[in-house]
Structure 1
Amino acid sequence: MENFALLLGQINSFVWGPPLLILLVGTGIYLTLGLGLIQVVRLPLALKYVFSKHDDTDHQGDVSSFAALCTALSATIGTGNIVGVATAVKAGGPGAIFWMWVAAFFGMATKYAEGLLAVKYRVIDANGQMSGGPMYYIERGLNNRILAKIFALFGIGVAFFGIGTFAQVNAIKDAAHLTFHIPVIMIAVVLTILVTLVTLGGIKSIARVASRLVPFMATFFILGSFIVLALNFGKIPAAVALIVESAFNPSAAFGGAAGISVIMVMRSGIARGVFSNESGLGSAPIAAAAAKTNSCVRQGLIAMTGTFFDSIIICTLTGIVLVMTGTWNDPSLAGAALTNAAFNTGLHSSIGQYLVTTGLIFFAFTTILGWNYYGERCTEYLFGVKAIKPYKLIYIVLVASGSFINLGLIWTLADIVNGLMAIPNLIGLIGLSRVVFAETRSYFNELTDKQLALEQQ
């Protein structure tokens, strides 16, 4: 087992080496410049679209734009926001949070492009459902079926062995057992039953649950985090200063500990950031493709807010609490236990662990649901609708067994398949960037013309 763990670690270091980091962040920078800082300039409009009602009765799609966003958020707001941030800070120090911010900022432009292309190139499958995502825009936009199939294959791998099952189930098991002392076997049984009941209903069932749980769980966790920050307000400036300084000077946090380099801090922050917000991974556009909309740009803007909510807000809150309370540097703590300790310390009460555990259980559960759908669409693309039921059966079995897998191996395996999934998607985004730029210009030119016409009336 030690040799296998060592091999996975070597593969992970290779996959998440400088080439992928450059490709991931570089794609976001390229799209940011080409789109004129769309994540800044158009963020108010994007948020307006998210929170305003939109008549979609005559539009193609399976679920509303908001439900599609909630489905995507259900898959992204998960253990990455609690356990992932703790793991990143543990491995790379507070500076990892800074690189999560960098990846998230440029990742918003990436997520916009993914959502836009997902709607533009989506199709209707044999069951009458919308299918879209990187496998379709790579095939139909780039005319490259081989690369599209590679993406879909890695997408199933992430659903089975990465973000979708093991990492989430293990996090729920650890948190529930640690805080509420629930037997592991009981957690595994109840979780498996709940996942089975929801996922067998397909995208509409998943979207219905996500639309109810995601806003509630996000608000619950954000309010709890704000209470911690308010109680420790004076420590926030020093925590932020340490995050920024140690991003470029790891010794500022580790005191000159051997082996900690800026590259390691970057890799830890960016890899965990991608695990959390999934920008560039190619997963969120699969949900975006199901939205009832006739505008690919509008859905791209809505998709972009997913990274904003996930990383700019929720991951930041978790990270600052970890650094501010000083618990990140405790060698006896890791994962959910580390975040529990941070919130307990911040609230000066054991109630913090209940806040974290409750949030984590909801976050991880909805992530399992979202990734079930992503893997299903990848399976349908590769093998047709007849393969959906066998896929769901395998997925449920993996959920049932996830509570009994080693945590260290889980995160390493998740990072590997995440990186492999991102590569074909990023190639597709770069190859279709001119389509993204053209659609964006056309939409906002038309929007300006309409506004001018209204002003002249």
Structure 2
Amino acid sequence: MEAFHGFLKLLDSMLGGAWWFPYVLLGTGLFFTIYLKFPQVRYFKHAWKVVTGKYDKADDPGDTSHFRALTTALSGTVGTGNIGGVAFAIFLGGPAALFWMWATAFLGMTTKFVEVTLSHKYRDKTPDGTMAGGPMYYMDKRLNMKWLAVAFAIATVISSFGTGNLPQSNGIATSIEATFGLDPLMVGSILGILLALVILGGITRIAAVTSKIVPLMALIYLVGAFAVIFANIENIGPAFSSVVSDVFTGSAATGGFLGATIAYAFNRGVNRGLFSNEAGQGSAPIAHAAAKTKEPVSEGMVSILEPFIDTIIICTITGLVILSSGVWQEKHLNTFDRSDMYILSGQYAESNPTDKEALFKYINNLDDHGVTDFNGEIQVVDGKAVNADFTIINARSFADNVTFSIGDAEDAYTGKLKVVNGNLVKDSIIVRGESLIHSASLTALAFTKGFFGESGKYIVSIGLLLFAFSTAIAWSYYGDRAMTYLLGPRSVMPYRVVYVAGFVWAAVSDTTLVWTLSAVAIVVMTLPNLFGIFLLRKEMKESVDQYWQKFKQENK
């Protein structure tokens, strides 16, 4: 698994982690924002009227209402990205990462408007009478690029696991285990059965379930979040200030946090912003294609609301909870994931500014850090290392009070541990200690710093359960529409079986491995879609103009 994770990290560095990807993503959104004259601002009010059904007509073709299409799409975006993803972005890039999530969302409102409109315009009715849409249909029917449509559909299937399935299951299991002590495999198995029961009903049952889950989960989560924000109200001003100021300076080392460069915060904030709202990824258009309307532009306007609700509202609230509580820069006792842990040659001290500078350069991938991986043996007696020629870094921080055990956390290990290129060779060894934490565990801890005290973590667990489960439901639909396009309706049932199996497996897999897989899957789906909508920019503008001409005539 370590070799596989290394391969995924290499892919991520070449794709989503590459310097050019954020510019492509934000550049596309910026281009359409200017080209269409800021539709996310001008059409915002109209979008709310459309989603409430004000302009609905009984004979409009489709499978579900504007509201249910929106909640289905929202259930696909409001997931672990809003809880664990924000925490992961701040963990990696500091407060400035939140700013870049905002920027991604604002420009993404336009990108989503474009991709949903074009996909809805070229949707198809399948042999079973249901609607099927998404970027693969405009790529095929309008651009005559069958190869691009097939590539996108394949990427959608992959991303249904990397975005909607594996990280959602892993986030639920991690949070439930930390809060209630329940076995991750049991949690994954039970939810896998429930997932199967829902997705077998197709878009009608999926839309019915998500239209009830989305408002409920948002209410529960917001109550818990504001309990923390108001309890730490004196820290809100400094939190907002750090988000903006760190954009221009990078985040300095503070507490256990070793700091982050401007470039790193930018890259990770954009990447996590995309994971959160999926603008440009081409996923939401698949859900919106089921909406009952003859006007593709009107459904595109509904989609403008998604990044606003998902990122600008929910992710901001999560970010403020984490920053105002201060837990993001504190070390806490935890079990180290192998993919988070690095064993370095030599002894580094957190109290030594020169050592901290070297580690800052190392974790931010800067040159001339002089840090090398440890190769050799660690002598352990009663769970404690007795040689001092190495330093353990876990979760981008100095690890303190490290213990080694085998089989069980209480069963202290004694013996020699071989280390190759900074990694332990013996897989059965459990390493625990104090370090920074990230993802859903960090958010759950932040929720305990409010009026609800320790009970706050239960709100995160319940919210995460609802958020992530609804995301898994929505993405199963995206995947089965892609399979329908690729291999026909008969391929849907085998896909659903594998999808449920993957959901169960991810509950017990490595957290960081899952997040890295999701980062790669997002990009391989996004790039073909951005290329396609850019080619249809003139048609998009014409469609918007025609919509308003017709709207004004019908509403004189």
The corresponding residue for 2:179 is 179
The corresponding residue for 2:281 is 281
What SS class does the counterpart of residue 507 from structure 2 fall into? helix
Supply the distance in 2 between the matched residues of 1:187 and 1:255 (Cα, whole angstroms): 34
The corresponding residue for 2:360 is none
The structure-2 alpha-carbon separation of the partners of 1:251 and 1:336, relative to structure 1 and needing over 3 Å to count, comes to closer
Judge conservation of contact 2:53–2:66 (CA < 8 Å) in 1. Answer: no
Compute the TM-score of the two structures, normalised by the length of structure 1.
Answer: 0.95
- 2:296 is the counterpart of 1:192: no
Supply the distance in 2 between the matched residues of 1:150 and 1:15 (Cα, whole angstroms): 16
1:342-421 superposed matches below 5 A: 342-347=446-451, 349-421=453-525
Judge conservation of contact 1:344–1:352 (CA < 8 Å) in 2. Answer: yes
The corresponding residue for 1:26 is 27
Number of residue pairs the alignment of both structures matches: 451
The equivalent position to 2:442 in structure 1, one of 331, 338, 347, is 338
Supply the distance in 1 between the matched residues of 2:440 and 2:451 (Cα, whole angstroms): 16
Judge conservation of contact 1:32–1:38 (CA < 8 Å) in 2. Answer: yes
Judge conservation of contact 2:89–2:97 (CA < 8 Å) in 1. Answer: yes
What SS class does the counterpart of residue 280 from structure 1 fall into? coil
What SS class does the counterpart of residue 142 from structure 2 fall into? helix
The structure-2 alpha-carbon separation of the partners of 1:349 and 1:115, relative to structure 1 and needing over 3 Å to count, comes to same
What SS class does the counterpart of residue 142 from structure 1 fall into? coil
Supply the distance in 1 between the matched residues of 2:219 and 2:305 (Cα, whole angstroms): 15
Supply the distance in 1 between the matched residues of 2:257 and 2:94 (Cα, whole angstroms): 11
Question: Residue 289 of structure 1: CA displacement?
Answer: 0.4
**Structure 1 residue runs without a partner (length 5+):** none
Judge conservation of contact 1:81–1:314 (CA < 8 Å) in 2. Answer: yes
**Structure 2 residue runs without a partner (length 5+):** 331-434
Supply the distance in 2 between the matched residues of 1:155 and 1:354 (Cα, whole angstroms): 33
Judge conservation of contact 1:61–1:130 (CA < 8 Å) in 2. Answer: yes
The corresponding residue for 2:5 is 5
- What one-letter code is carried by the residue in structure 1 that aligns with 2:498? I
- 2:182 is the counterpart of 1:78: no
- What one-letter code is carried by the residue in structure 2 that aligns with 1:406? D
Supply the distance in 2 between the matched residues of 1:95 and 1:181 (Cα, whole angstroms): 34
Supply the distance in 1 between the matched residues of 2:126 and 2:253 (Cα, whole angstroms): 52
Please give the root-mean-square deviation of Cα atoms over the aligned residues, in Å. Answer: 1.7
Judge conservation of contact 1:164–1:367 (CA < 8 Å) in 2. Answer: yes
The equivalent position to 2:539 in structure 1, one of 435, 439, 456, is 435
Question: Residue 346 of structure 1: CA displacement?
Answer: 3.1
- What one-letter code is carried by the residue in structure 2 that aligns with 1:263? A
The corresponding residue for 1:244 is 244
Cα deviation digits, residues 318-356 of structure 1 (max 9, x gap) = 011111111111233222111011111133611211111
Cα deviation digits, residues 155-208 of structure 1 (max 9, x gap) = 000112x11211000111111111122222321221011001000011111111
Question: Residue 96 of structure 1: CA displacement?
Answer: 0.4
1:95-174 superposed matches below 5 A: 95-160=96-161, 162-174=162-174
Larger radius of gyration: 2
Compute the TM-score of the two structures, normalised by the length of structure 2.
Answer: 0.79
Judge conservation of contact 1:245–1:252 (CA < 8 Å) in 2. Answer: no
In percent, how many aligned pairs have the same letter? 40
Question: Residue 257 of structure 1: CA displacement?
Answer: 7.8
- What one-letter code is carried by the residue in structure 1 that aligns with 2:177? H
Supply the distance in 1 between the matched residues of 2:49 and 2:298 (Cα, whole angstroms): 11
Please say which of residues 238-247 and 97-106 is displaced more in the overlay.
Answer: 238-247
What SS class does the counterpart of residue 291 from structure 1 fall into? coil
Question: Residue 2 of structure 1: CA displacement?
Answer: 3.1
Question: Residue 102 of structure 1: CA displacement?
Answer: 0.4
Supply the distance in 1 between the matched residues of 2:103 and 2:67 (Cα, whole angstroms): 26
The structure-2 alpha-carbon separation of the partners of 1:144 and 1:259, relative to structure 1 and needing over 3 Å to count, comes to farther
Cα deviation digits, residues 402-422 of structure 1 (max 9, x gap) = 112111110011100111100
The corresponding residue for 2:63 is 62
What SS class does the counterpart of residue 179 from structure 1 fall into? helix
The structure-2 alpha-carbon separation of the partners of 1:257 and 1:351, relative to structure 1 and needing over 3 Å to count, comes to closer
Please say which of residues 82-91 and 262-271 is displaced more in the overlay.
Answer: 262-271
Higher relative contact order (Cα pairs below 8 Å, separated by 6+ residues):
1
Judge conservation of contact 2:84–2:440 (CA < 8 Å) in 1. Answer: yes
Question: Residue 316 of structure 1: CA displacement?
Answer: 0.5
Please say which of residues 341-350 and 401-410 is displaced more in the overlay.
Answer: 341-350
The structure-2 alpha-carbon separation of the partners of 1:34 and 1:353, relative to structure 1 and needing over 3 Å to count, comes to same
The structure-2 alpha-carbon separation of the partners of 1:348 and 1:194, relative to structure 1 and needing over 3 Å to count, comes to closer
Judge conservation of contact 1:199–1:369 (CA < 8 Å) in 2. Answer: yes
Judge conservation of contact 2:252–2:260 (CA < 8 Å) in 1. Answer: no
Please say which of residues 280-289 and 243-252 is displaced more in the overlay.
Answer: 243-252
Greater strand proportion: 2
What SS class does the counterpart of residue 128 from structure 2 fall into? coil
Supply the distance in 1 between the matched residues of 2:482 and 2:186 (Cα, whole angstroms): 31
The corresponding residue for 1:219 is 219
Question: Residue 304 of structure 1: CA displacement?
Answer: 1.3
The corresponding residue for 2:52 is 51
Judge conservation of contact 2:252–2:259 (CA < 8 Å) in 1. Answer: no
The corresponding residue for 2:359 is none
Greater helix proportion: 1
Question: Residue 40 of structure 1: CA displacement?
Answer: 1.1
